[in-house]
Amino acid sequence: MSRYDGKKIVIIGDRDGIPGPAIQECLKPLDCEVIFSSTECFV
Protein backbone atom coordinates (compact mmCIF):
# COMPACT_ATOMS: atom_id res chain seq x y z
CA MET A 1 0.00 0.00 0.00
CA SER A 2 1.53 3.31 -1.02
CA ARG A 3 0.33 6.88 -0.62
CA TYR A 4 -0.40 6.93 -4.38
CA ASP A 5 -2.76 3.92 -4.43
CA GLY A 6 -6.09 4.75 -6.03
CA LYS A 7 -5.00 8.32 -6.73
CA LYS A 8 -5.13 10.29 -9.96
CA ILE A 9 -1.76 11.88 -10.63
CA VAL A 10 -0.78 15.11 -12.36
CA ILE A 11 2.94 15.26 -13.21
CA ILE A 12 4.82 18.44 -13.96
CA GLY A 13 8.45 17.59 -14.60
CA ASP A 14 11.44 19.85 -15.10
CA ARG A 15 13.86 19.45 -17.98
CA ASP A 16 16.89 20.19 -15.82
CA GLY A 17 15.49 18.27 -12.86
CA ILE A 18 13.30 15.17 -13.20
CA PRO A 19 11.38 15.13 -16.52
CA GLY A 20 7.73 14.02 -16.69
CA PRO A 21 8.31 10.67 -18.47
CA ALA A 22 10.88 9.65 -15.82
CA ILE A 23 8.41 10.33 -12.99
CA GLN A 24 5.70 8.50 -14.93
CA GLU A 25 7.98 5.48 -15.29
CA CYS A 26 8.52 5.39 -11.52
CA LEU A 27 4.77 5.39 -10.90
CA LYS A 28 4.06 2.49 -13.30
CA PRO A 29 4.27 -0.32 -10.70
CA LEU A 30 1.88 1.52 -8.38
CA ASP A 31 -1.89 1.41 -8.34
CA CYS A 32 -2.48 4.95 -9.53
CA GLU A 33 -3.59 6.71 -12.70
CA VAL A 34 -1.48 9.37 -14.38
CA ILE A 35 -4.03 11.71 -15.93
CA PHE A 36 -1.56 14.37 -17.08
CA SER A 37 2.19 14.39 -17.55
CA SER A 38 4.27 17.19 -18.93
CA THR A 39 7.82 18.47 -18.82
CA GLU A 40 8.35 22.19 -18.47
CA CYS A 41 11.30 24.27 -19.52
CA PHE A 42 11.83 27.26 -17.24
CA VAL A 43 14.72 28.71 -19.17
By the criterion CB under 8 A, which residues form the site for another protein?
14-22, 25, 38-39, 41-43
User: What minimum distance in Å lies between the beta carbon of 25 and another protein?
Assistant: 7
Instruction: Say which amino acid occupies 12.
Output: I
DSSP state of 14: E
CB of 17 to another protein, least distance (A): 7
Angle, vertex CA 28, rays to CA 27 and CA 32, nearest 5: 70
Q: Which of 16, 18, 17, 13 is nearest to 38 (CA)?
A: 13
Min CB(10)–another protein separation in Å: 16
Based on CB atoms, which residue is closest to another protein, 10 or 22?
22
